[in-house]
Amino acid sequence: MSGGCLAKVDSYTVTAFLKKPLFGIRHCKKAYILSCQKSSWELVVFEKILVPLDGSEHSLDALEKAIQIAKKFDSEITLVHLYSISVFKLTPSQIDDYVLELRKVGEEILAEGQKKAYAEDVPVETQLKEGHVVEGIVELARDRNFDLIVIGARGISKLKELFLGSTSHGVTLHAPCPVLVVK
């Protein structure tokens, strides 16, 4: 686990898989991590929090933790739901119906999460994306410069986790920012 360590934010443990050594955490209006590499200090602020949602109990627990952190440190949350299209022997109209259903389910999951964040007066935006889940989360975190990813330990597809490795594991390995994995 080179370059990573554990840091406390309130009662939550943030697994900070940083490319730099992590020396301590301080509290002010915003949570931040103080890290150092080759005698230059860098401040990482948790202003933007990314929360992937798949509708599972663990992802909803992750949302609750993200809301608590966002309230405490005046952060913004972005909820993302990614879906991937597996094409079997389907006709074009069946594929269209399949994609529409995937998008509808994703929109419902995001709307539920958005409702929870709004109820706690936390600024929130949503994104519905098609693509590989781990790659999509990591790419979004990198492109939008998120400060923290809060993700459920297990998602809906337990069978995939057995054979391919879990989404949360893949995200923690490749994320460009600290990751909080919620059980």
CA distance 23 to 69: 21
| Extended strands (E) in 72-182 | 76-83, 124-130, 148-152, 179-182
* Average pLDDT of the segment spanning 99-104: 93
Model pLDDT, residue 157: 56
CA distance 144 to 137: 11
Torsion sign over Cα 94, 129, 171, 66: negative
pTM of the predicted model as reported, rounded to 2 decimal places: 0.74
Go through the domains of the chain in sequence order and give each one's CATH number.
Answer: 47-182 (3.40.50.620)
Model pLDDT, residue 156: 61
pLDDT in tens, 39-79: 455 555 789 999 999 999 999 999 999 999 999 889 999 99
